[in-house]
Structure 1
Amino acid sequence: MQIFFVITLITFSSVFPKPLPSTKNHNYIQKEKVQGNDNLNELNADFWEINAKSTLTERLRRSINTNTAKNVILFLGDGMSISSLTAARIYLGQQNKKNGEETFLSFEKFPFSGLIKTYCVNAQVADSGCAATAYLCGVKANKATVGVTAATKLSDCEAMNNETNQVSSVAQLFQLAGKRTGFVTTTRVTHSSPAGLYAHIADKDWETDAKVTASGKDSKQCIDIAQQLIHGNIGRKLNVIFGGGRTSFLPNTVRDEDNNLGWRNDSRNLINEWKQLKRETKHKYVYNLEGMKNLSLDEAYVLGIFDSDHMEFNLDRDTKSKPSLSEMTVKAIEILSQEEKGFFLFVESGRIDHAHHEALTRIALDETIQLHKAIEAAVNISDSDYTLIVVASDHSHAMTFNGYQKRGNNILGIAGIGEDNLPYTTLSYAVGPSGINGSRPDITNDNLEDPHYKFPSYVMRHRSTHGGEDVAIFAKGPWAHLFSGVTEQHVVPYLLGFASRVGNFTDYVQKSGSQNILTFSLLSMLSLTIALF
């Protein structure tokens, strides 16, 4: 004990070779108000000292939770780059009449965080398909494929049907453990990210039989994603399915609740087939906010498809008839929580990516804020001792944060003037639909806060591209510390399985380095003692 004590003291003295500002009259153990627009406070050294020591104390008080995770909630911001996080937190702060830079998103306060490497087996920059296969199935795959190994090339139906090439998702591990499973998304429920939970597909675009035949393949041999969701071994066992995309389940002769024709050519109504499959259990199909709100919590299976296509961007959403991401998340947790053994829930804010592709920057930031709110709502109704909550992104986006503008400058505003005497925005895209075609346009009088304003791009392309840099991951709850550091994306489901002791990890905890955990705990306590001394 004495040796550890001396080492820790030496470490602290080497980090702070010069005396810190006096702590007299400051009890930095207590929380202090350090955020806001009071720039006068920021002129004083004491302001920053209190801020830093408050952060230090909070981190020293962190403990390692080694409980078995009864529940796991994996949140995903599709295309949520680190620049998206920074811009979104500033946008949130400015919405609340602050400068913005001092703001934190709810999950940025989670005790553990790290970086995730996102490449595909055959691509330097990931797409949502191979990324979903990595963070949900534990295998890096080829671009635009889902739920299969890299032995399956794009559009290779024969390889896709080879069970050797099919990989199980983390959802199946929880199902086999007797836990409830489900997902929430703002995209079509057959889109790339949620498909990673239940589908094995050689082309992420094969959401319907019509898409399969359009690519020149036999739809009876290459089973589309919608069919796999309703009839597949994993999909048919999902207890909660919330999102958009009704038309993927309806024939092209049938109109849905929003009066849009289905997209299927095979005359099948998969929504009715789902109802028929569940006829002997308590189940419910809903298509609007009212129906979702009225769901009984004892429903064994719930299918909620709230839009014909992707769900509308939040800023365009009909709030009276369409649920928000937070509302869907809370209802899903309430239903899944009825299982005593616990649950696994995947929640995706999928349209961050879509907004970035169209250079709709304000919408992208707002969709990120919706994820922030959904996570906050989930934390408030979850048992923190036995619920592991992880927040990640599947890939980055090519949005950049530019300039030398003053503190508190409108994040959606002008950053400065270029050498061509024309203004440039704080946020812009390396590649995108508003690219330069000759000389730069003058945006002086543009309404940059219009949600559908397309922000400037450097290279002209019909859509903005993904980014290849690492993305952030945040975690709280049982075994959250495992998500620290720089990690390959395919490791994520292994960490989820380990924390929950499902699949091959049922007895793995007994084989782990418990002595290291004990040592870490002792060092944490000693460091805290020194800080309090």
Structure 2
Amino acid sequence: MVASQRTRDLCRTVRLKSTQVFIVAGTCLITVLITLLCIGFMTRYEVENEVANVADVDYWKDRVAALQKIWYDKGIEELNEALRTPSGPVYPRNLRIFVVQGIDGRDLATHRFPAREISQGNVNFVWDQYSHLARLKNSCSQRFPCPVGGLSRAFWTGIPLEKSVEMETECKQMDNQTDSLMSVLRQAQLAGLRTGFVTTQRLTGSTGAALYGNSLYECDERMPMGFLQSGCQDVARQLISGETGKALNVIIGGGRQMLSKLVPQTQFDPVDELLCQAGEGRNLLKEWRNQKLKQSKIRPIKFDLIQRTDELESLNASRYDHLMGVMANGDLSGNPKAPSFKLMVEKSLEVLEGKKQGYLLIVEQVREKGVNSRRQLQILNDTLVSLPKDRDTLTLVLFTNGIYPKPSLDISEETETISYLSEIFNEEEIRLQERLQQMPSESLLFAQGPRSTLFVGLRNETYLAHAIAHVLSMSKLVAKL
């Protein structure tokens, strides 16, 4: 009986220990399975999100020559940078768009790898480090000279060049806004963003006309009498009276002679006789100031109108709601005392960032005749380098090159083109090659920041406006956060 009891106790003990063994073994097995699953998920995450460290990847270091290994190591550094996924918001709060007119990929390549006698090696511009690059088809390659107004509308309104050219013969009355083209600038304003436009050209040039105007004529002097009588407005008038122009927080550039009949003339800033001049009695600068005074009576705003470099330099721009700077009678290139490109951009950003609100800033740099394009690129590069780093900002740099018509009082583009034909077919081969090199090439668009992934591949010119419109629609939500 005693033996039987002992046997039962022993069985219970063994059974209990077996259960404990199974529990421990099961726990270990589950732990191993969970660990393997975690490793699998982490590996898949690294592959999908490109955060793997390629420095650990073997590239046959023991087989390549010593000199080759040096360059492979440098390449690995670049790959690490390319695979590093930046953290930050999915959509930007701010957009900065820099447009360089008259410089294309050939110029970039030339000055990135200049002649040995003037350089110690290749030059890396800051936009070369941007994460994404797209090419935009250049419709001007099929036209000579390029209808620059239509090209600008393609970029900023999303209307194809051929359709835009058809619209140029139409007269749009500003009191009928339903048929007016809406540029990305106006879309940004409707999305609640602050907006600005800076140009080294005149404010009434092709880019300005596409952003806030719907007219072929920069000022009233050139507009046909029938158009004036029917209520059509020139670009200068639309800048001051149009909904987009009135809402601009920053506007800096040249073109004083289009805005006012009486302008100061000095040896540094003469009136450009080849450009349009305001008609008798016009003073749109005064109208702009009076307009802001009326607004300030309804809602307090701080604004200023400046016309000299020293005024811009001493300005505490972050305090202002609206700033207008007209720094030359014609293009800024005609006034050697005009403010620097960098100063205009910095002060514009101070205004736009001062209210802690999302913004869109469009900056245009036009290649000056007689100025080395290398110098122009260096100015742009230095300006971009000096910008504050902001993970909430999408920065675009667009290089575009069309054959732009010369401003002329009595020679039409068509007549000018015909006059070149006999010269083209009789000149030497080397000159023909030079002309071919000057033909418009595809525009290059460098992108950095949230949603820069939209700007890749070969796209139509109109894609720029469409992609920006999408970003603006989402930035409206980001700006409210």
- For residue 52 of structure 1, what is the aligned residue in structure 2? 75
**What is the CA-CA distance between 1:342 and the residue it aligns to?**
1.3
**Secondary structure, in 3 states, of the residue corresponding to 1:501?**
helix
Q: 1:187 aligns with which of 174, 196, 201?
A: 201
**Secondary structure, in 3 states, of the residue corresponding to 2:243?**
coil
- For residue 174 of structure 1, what is the aligned residue in structure 2? 188
- For residue 333 of structure 2, what is the aligned residue in structure 1? 312
1:223 aligns with 2:229: no
Provide the rounded CA distance (Å) in 1 between the counterparts of 2:62 and 2:238.
62
One-letter amino acid of the counterpart of residue 185, structure 2: A
One-letter amino acid of the counterpart of residue 354, structure 2: Q
Provide the rounded CA distance (Å) in 2 between the counterparts of 1:437 and 1:125.
20
1:234 aligns with 2:254: no
Provide the rounded CA distance (Å) in 2 between the counterparts of 1:232 and 1:465.
37
- For residue 222 of structure 2, what is the aligned residue in structure 1? 211
**What is the CA-CA distance between 1:140 and the residue it aligns to?**
1.7
Please list, as runs of the form range in 1=range in 2, the aligned pairs for 1:105-504 lying within 5 A after superposition.
Answer: 105-119=125-139, 127-142=147-162, 150=164, 152-157=166-171, 163=177, 165-201=179-215, 203=216, 206-213=217-224, 217-218=227-228, 221-251=231-261, 253-255=262-264, 258=269, 260=271, 263-279=277-293, 280=296, 281-297=301-317, 298-312=319-333, 318=336, 321-350=337-366, 352=367, 354-355=368-369, 360=370, 363-378=372-387, 381-383=388-390, 385-396=391-402, 457-458=431-432, 467=440, 469-501=441-473
**What is the CA-CA distance between 1:191 and the residue it aligns to?**
0.6
One-letter amino acid of the counterpart of residue 89, structure 1: R
**What is the CA-CA distance between 1:194 and the residue it aligns to?**
2.5
Provide the rounded CA distance (Å) in 2 between the counterparts of 1:113 and 1:255.
44
Cα deviations across residues 189-229 of structure 1 (Å, max 9, x unaligned)? Answer: 1111132211112x2xx111112139x85476331111111
TM-score scaled to structure 1, two decimals? Answer: 0.66
Provide the rounded CA distance (Å) in 2 between the counterparts of 1:226 and 1:66.
38
One-letter amino acid of the counterpart of residue 190, structure 2: L
> Is the Cα contact below 8 Å between 2:194 and 2:359 reproduced in 1?
yes
CA distance change for structure 1 residues 81 and 466 in 2, over 3 Å: closer, same or farther? Answer: same
> Is the Cα contact below 8 Å between 2:132 and 2:447 reproduced in 1?
yes
- For residue 424 of structure 1, what is the aligned residue in structure 2? none
**Secondary structure, in 3 states, of the residue corresponding to 1:223?**
coil
CA distance change for structure 1 residues 488 and 439 in 2, over 3 Å: closer, same or farther? Answer: closer
* Bigger radius of gyration: 2
> Is the Cα contact below 8 Å between 1:64 and 1:481 reproduced in 2?
no
Provide the rounded CA distance (Å) in 2 between the counterparts of 1:392 and 1:481.
15
Cα deviations across residues 421-447 of structure 1 (Å, max 9, x unaligned)? Answer: xxxxxxxxxx99x9897558xxxxxxx
Please list, as runs of the form range in 1=range in 2, the aligned pairs for 1:94-109 lying within 5 A after superposition.
Answer: 97-99=119-121, 102-109=122-129
Cα deviations across residues 295-330 of structure 1 (Å, max 9, x unaligned)? Answer: 2221111111111111128xxx74xx4211111111
Provide the rounded CA distance (Å) in 2 between the counterparts of 1:94 and 1:335.
43
One-letter amino acid of the counterpart of residue 365, structure 1: R
TM-score scaled to structure 2, two decimals? Answer: 0.72
Per mean C-alpha deviation after superposition, the further-off stretch among 366-375 and 295-304 is 366-375
**What is the CA-CA distance between 1:377 and the residue it aligns to?**
2.3
> Is the Cα contact below 8 Å between 1:246 and 1:307 reproduced in 2?
yes
CA distance change for structure 1 residues 458 and 492 in 2, over 3 Å: closer, same or farther? Answer: same
Q: Identity over aligned residues, as a percent?
A: 23
**Secondary structure, in 3 states, of the residue corresponding to 2:98?**
strand
> Is the Cα contact below 8 Å between 2:105 and 2:399 reproduced in 1?
no
Per mean C-alpha deviation after superposition, the further-off stretch among 70-79 and 273-282 is 273-282
**Secondary structure, in 3 states, of the residue corresponding to 1:200?**
coil
CA distance change for structure 1 residues 228 and 458 in 2, over 3 Å: closer, same or farther? Answer: same
Provide the rounded CA distance (Å) in 2 between the counterparts of 1:58 and 1:247.
49
Gaps of 5+ in 2: 1-38, 49-57, 405-419
**Secondary structure, in 3 states, of the residue corresponding to 1:489?**
coil
One-letter amino acid of the counterpart of residue 477, structure 1: G
CA distance change for structure 1 residues 265 and 124 in 2, over 3 Å: closer, same or farther? Answer: closer
> Is the Cα contact below 8 Å between 1:116 and 1:472 reproduced in 2?
yes
- For residue 96 of structure 2, what is the aligned residue in structure 1? 73
Structure with higher helix content: 2
> Is the Cα contact below 8 Å between 1:208 and 1:224 reproduced in 2?
yes
**What is the CA-CA distance between 1:371 and the residue it aligns to?**
2.0
- Superposition RMSD on alpha carbons, in Å? 4.0
Per mean C-alpha deviation after superposition, the further-off stretch among 183-192 and 285-294 is 285-294
- For residue 35 of structure 1, what is the aligned residue in structure 2? none
One-letter amino acid of the counterpart of residue 22, structure 1: K
One-letter amino acid of the counterpart of residue 320, structure 2: E
Provide the rounded CA distance (Å) in 2 between the counterparts of 1:386 and 1:92.
39
Q: Which gives a bigger RCO, structure 1 or 2 (Cα 8 Å, sep 6+)?
A: 2
Question: What is the count of residue pairs matched by the alignment?
Answer: 404
Provide the rounded CA distance (Å) in 2 between the counterparts of 1:123 and 1:58.
41
**Secondary structure, in 3 states, of the residue corresponding to 2:279?**
coil
Provide the rounded CA distance (Å) in 1 between the counterparts of 2:403 and 2:166.
26
One-letter amino acid of the counterpart of residue 322, structure 2: Y
Provide the rounded CA distance (Å) in 1 between the counterparts of 2:154 and 2:88.
25
Provide the rounded CA distance (Å) in 2 between the counterparts of 1:435 and 1:324.
38
Provide the rounded CA distance (Å) in 1 between the counterparts of 2:182 and 2:280.
28
One-letter amino acid of the counterpart of residue 249, structure 2: N
- For residue 422 of structure 1, what is the aligned residue in structure 2? none
CA distance change for structure 1 residues 482 and 438 in 2, over 3 Å: closer, same or farther? Answer: closer
**What is the CA-CA distance between 1:182 and the residue it aligns to?**
0.6
Provide the rounded CA distance (Å) in 2 between the counterparts of 1:474 and 1:88.
17
> Is the Cα contact below 8 Å between 2:91 and 2:474 reproduced in 1?
no
Provide the rounded CA distance (Å) in 2 between the counterparts of 1:92 and 1:192.
35
Provide the rounded CA distance (Å) in 2 between the counterparts of 1:92 and 1:75.
27
**What is the CA-CA distance between 1:158 and the residue it aligns to?**
5.4
CA distance change for structure 1 residues 475 and 120 in 2, over 3 Å: closer, same or farther? Answer: same
One-letter amino acid of the counterpart of residue 499, structure 1: V
**Secondary structure, in 3 states, of the residue corresponding to 2:76?**
helix
